[in-house]
């Protein structure tokens, strides 16, 4: 299993910083035109699925991004249309009117209408499409307490039958006592079946984390994702955590599947969960 960890990027970045010279430079950066930013996914849990809509901001903007209110949001699986309603208590967040679960094998289409980005601007529309892959079920997991580069934590291992279909991609989230500890994209573990397609995976290393103590309950959430969303995660981490310095290339646009010049990603996640007690 080819896996990637935030830890690798962080260590390399720190090592580079300690071998680099620094000089303070004042830059005047022009604000780019405002874009729609989409954060949303459809999962196999039966819940009120969620889409977040915000506006892009300037480089030095250090507050919560401005939200998009009053948009019309709909998701379709080709048979059923699901209407999303903005939560009046959480502006910019749109939840499905009724709980539903994504179905592996179906393709989900996102349709966003009536988005006004600039004052007195024209309303814009956006679309995205993403298939839902098959669920990977982890048979069992266990955790081992370790010290990595001076950091105490746990490495979690799992056992599973990897499907024979090539080009499967996975993302893992972790919960300790039902609290999500991988709450941003740069904290998740992700990987592909490039080297293990169709094999039974024994002692598969799923990730390293520093939270939790003996007796706590660890829950591992396995998400099967598309190759395109996998590439989105890779480019996002490279451009936000692993770029800069005299020997890196010029910054590149992070990929998206949203139309009309928007950024972000609309993804699907086929999920399974399994728990164990931390030693």
Mean pLDDT of 51-64: 86
Do 90 and 217 fall within a single domain?
A: no
Q: Are the beta carbons of 232 and 5 closer than 8 angstroms?
A: no
Kindly state whether residue 31 falls inside one of the protein's structural domains.
Answer: no
**Where a domain ends, among 114, 131, 148?**
131
Question: pLDDT tens-digit profile of 75-91?
Answer: 999 999 999 999 999 99
Tally of structural domains, the chain: 2
Task: For residue 122, count other CB atoms closer than 10 A to its CB.
Answer: 8
At 104 the pLDDT is 97
Element (H, E) at 41: strand 36-43
16 confidence band (pLDDT: 50, 70, 90): very low
> Has residue 32 got a pLDDT over 80?
no
* Domain containing residue 120: CATH number: 2.60.40
3 confidence band (pLDDT: 50, 70, 90): low
Contacts (Cβ under 8 Å, ≥6 apart) of 203:
157, 158, 159
8 confidence band (pLDDT: 50, 70, 90): very low
The 138-148 sheet, strands edge to edge: 138-148, 151-161, 200-209
Question: pLDDT tens-digit profile of 239-252?
Answer: 877 655 544 555 56
31 confidence band (pLDDT: 50, 70, 90): low
**Where a domain ends, among 67, 98, 131?**
131
Kindly state whether residue 77 falls inside one of the protein's structural domains.
Answer: yes
Backbone angles phi, psi at 56, to 5 degrees: -70, 155
Kindly state whether residue 262 falls inside one of the protein's structural domains.
Answer: no
Do 122 and 164 fall within a single domain?
A: no
Q: Which domain holds residue 12?
A: 2-16+134-247+269-277
Mean pLDDT of 155-164: 96
Do 240 and 173 fall within a single domain?
A: yes
pTM of the model: 0.84
Burial class (CB in 10 A: 0-12, 13-18, 19+), 29: exposed
At 7 the pLDDT is 45
Do 67 and 171 fall within a single domain?
A: no
At 10 the pLDDT is 46
> Has residue 163 got a pLDDT over 60?
yes
């Amino acid at each position: 299993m080819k896996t990637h960890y935030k830890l690798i990027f962080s260590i390399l970045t720190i090592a580079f910083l300690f071998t680099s010279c620094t000089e303070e430079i004042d830059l005047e950066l022009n604000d780019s035109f405002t874009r729609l930013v989409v954060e949303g996914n459809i999962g196999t849990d039966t819940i009120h699925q969620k889409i977040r809509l915000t506006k892009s901001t300037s480089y030095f903007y250090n507050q919560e991004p401005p939200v998009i209110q009053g948009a019309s949001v709909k998701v379709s699986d080709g048979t059923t249309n699901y209407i999303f309603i903005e939560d009046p208590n959480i502006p910019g967040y749109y939840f499905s009117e009724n709980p539903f679960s994504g179905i592996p094998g179906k393709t989900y289409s996102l349709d966003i209408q009536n988005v006004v980005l600039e004052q007195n601007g024209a309303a814009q529309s956006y679309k995205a499409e993403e298939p839902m892959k098959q669920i990977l079920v982890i048979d069992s997991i266990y955790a081992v307490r370790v010290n990595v580069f001076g950091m105490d934590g746990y490495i979690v291992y799992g056992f599973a039958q990897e499907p024979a279909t090539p080009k499967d991609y996975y993302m893992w989230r972790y919960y300790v006592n039902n609290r999500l500890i991988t709450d941003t994209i740069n904290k998740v573990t992700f990987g592909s079946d490039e080297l293990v397609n169709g094999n039974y995976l024994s002692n598969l290393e799923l990730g390293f984390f520093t939270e939790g103590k003996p007796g706590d309950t660890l829950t591992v959430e396995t998400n099967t994702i598309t190759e395109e969303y996998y590439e989105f995660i890779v480019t996002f981490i490279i451009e936000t955590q692993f770029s800069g310095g005299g020997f890196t290339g010029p910054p590149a646009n992070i990929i998206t599947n949203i139309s009309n010049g928007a950024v972000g990603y609309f993804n699907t996640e086929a999920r399974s969960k399994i728990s164990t007690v931390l030693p």
